[in-house]
Amino acid sequence: MKVLLIDDHPLILTALESVIQGTGDDVTVVGVDSARGARATLAEDADFDLVLLDLALGDANGFDLLDELRANFPAVPVVVVSATERGADVIRAIDSGAMGFVHKRAAQAELLEALRTVMAGGVYLPEPMVGLLAGPRAPAVDGDTEPGVMQIGAHAQPAPHQQAMTLDKIGLTPRQTDVLALLLQGKPNKLIARELNLSVETVKDHVAAVLRALNVNSRTQAVLAVSQMTQGQGGFPAWKPTPRS
């Protein structure tokens, strides 16, 4: 596994390198301290399996770099490792396509759990972070992904009946499962349509059906609901497109 770390704090960067390098002899870790360094590294070699990104970079807005990474390297999962306590930042990171969010105060075991979950195809959002997401419920949207803050509120936390549900029991069709898998990767409707060879309008219909099945109002709520369902179960199964009939 090859991991790119992006953090402008030398001590944090060194600590992360040590922790991740210690997970196995087959792990290669490359650390950079700026967005400029990240761009240069990826321009030279884009063959990374995972990116860990700090949001507070000296030479760039971390959210802008996250958008750039998701646009240019959509197959590489990004985990945000940040000191922010703002629930809005957690939501924005997930909205922008991050596959996980870990606080810098987290224990080493939690960081490794997050990395295992994401590498297994899941989305990692620790329980304390879910509790930060307080605010009014967001209105229903047309299902497309737009970076930005979405106040999903307490309703985003799965109700008891949702916590008891599992992905294999929510009644998705194979095509809806395909759409959900790509949605969880932070891909917008246009890219989902391209990958599944569907029209954008058809994808919007599938996204709406997925949100109804999960009993949520937005993509961010869907990520949180699926994260709750798959926590400790190895994450969402790796996506394989359903053969077209």
What is the model's pLDDT at position 65? 96
Task: Please state, in angstroms and as integers, the Cα–Cα distance from residue 170 to each residue in 20, 144, 220, 225, 231, following that order.
Answer: 36, 22, 18, 12, 16
Structural domains of the chain ordered from first start: 2-130 (3.40.50.2300), 135-230 (1.10.10.10)
What would the mean pLDDT of 18-24 be, rounded to a whole number? 89
More confident residue, 25 or 50: 50
What is the model's pLDDT at position 231? 57
What is the model's pLDDT at position 150? 31
Task: List own/partner pairs for 90-93 with CB under 8 A and 24 or more apart.
Answer: 90/125, 90/129, 90/132, 90/133, 91/133, 91/149, 91/150, 91/151, 91/152, 91/220, 92/63, 92/147, 92/148, 92/149, 93/55, 93/63, 93/66
Q: How far is the C-alpha of 124 from the C-alpha of 15, rounded, in Å?
A: 21
Of the pLDDT bands very low, low, confident and very high (cuts 50, 70, 90), residue 4 is: very high
Count of residues making up the chain? 245
Q: How far is the C-alpha of 117 from the C-alpha of 58, rounded, in Å?
A: 29
Of the pLDDT bands very low, low, confident and very high (cuts 50, 70, 90), residue 138 is: very low
What is the model's pLDDT at position 20? 93
Of the pLDDT bands very low, low, confident and very high (cuts 50, 70, 90), residue 144 is: very low
What is the model's pLDDT at position 168? 65
pTM: 0.65
pLDDT at 63 over 80: yes
Q: Residue type for 202, please?
A: T
Three-state DSSP at 51 gives: strand
| 189: Cβ contacts below 8 Å, ≥ 6 apart | 143, 144, 145, 200, 203, 204, 207
More confident residue, 27 or 74: 27
Q: How far is the C-alpha of 220 from the C-alpha of 161, rounded, in Å?
A: 19
Tokens 């040590």 label which residue?
Answer: 18
Task: Tell me what percent of the residues of the chain surpass a pLDDT of 70.
Answer: 75
